[in-house]
Amino acid sequence: MNYTKTLKTAEDAAVLAVAFSTHLKAGDSLLLSGPVGAGKTHFARSIIQAMMARDGEVEDVPSPTFTLVQVYDTSVGEVWHTDLYRLTHIDELTELGLDDAFDTAITLVEWPDRLGAARPKRHLHLSFSMPDIESDIRVLEVNTAGTGWDWLDDV
């Protein structure tokens, strides 16, 4: 299943992220790609904050650009937010534990092109683009790999 959504504002992206968050479970991987400033971190942050809010938690969700990974505990399970922009070697994925997290946690991966062959077989690929860098409009293309993404029809 593939679809495209136009997000006119950052709030539109946050609303869509909240809708995604209600369906995610352990083993779900969202691969977020697009240029710097396209909204990858905003989307991931909105998912995490929505999941934590349902648990009555409020937490700052920083970008994992320098730490490579941030892990959040939710009632649904662990959520791993990773930013692989600074990844220097594919072996670092194993050191981070990301390969295991693909099976046991919800993973939100920015800069998934760095995964190479380690890309999980079952994932959603969310590609953000900015048709006009002077506006807030973003275009999100969603492509599925593997099964279990039927809920996308509802968002």
pLDDT digits (tens, 9 = 90+) for 74-110: 999 999 999 999 888 888 888 888 989 999 999 999 9
Work out the number of other CB atoms within 10 angstroms of the CB of residue 33: 17
Q: What is the pLDDT of residue 125?
A: 98
Side by side, the strands of the sheet bearing 77-83 are 2-7, 138-145, 123-129, 29-33, 106-110, 77-83, 69-74
Domains and their CATH numbers in the chain: 2-154 (3.40.50.300)
CA 9 to the chain's CA centroid? 18
* Distance from C-alpha of 29 to C-alpha of 18, rounded to nearest angstrom: 16
> With a cut of 70, which residues of the chain have pLDDT below it?
none
Q: What is the pLDDT of residue 15?
A: 97
Q: What is the pLDDT of residue 59?
A: 78
The model's pTM:
0.93
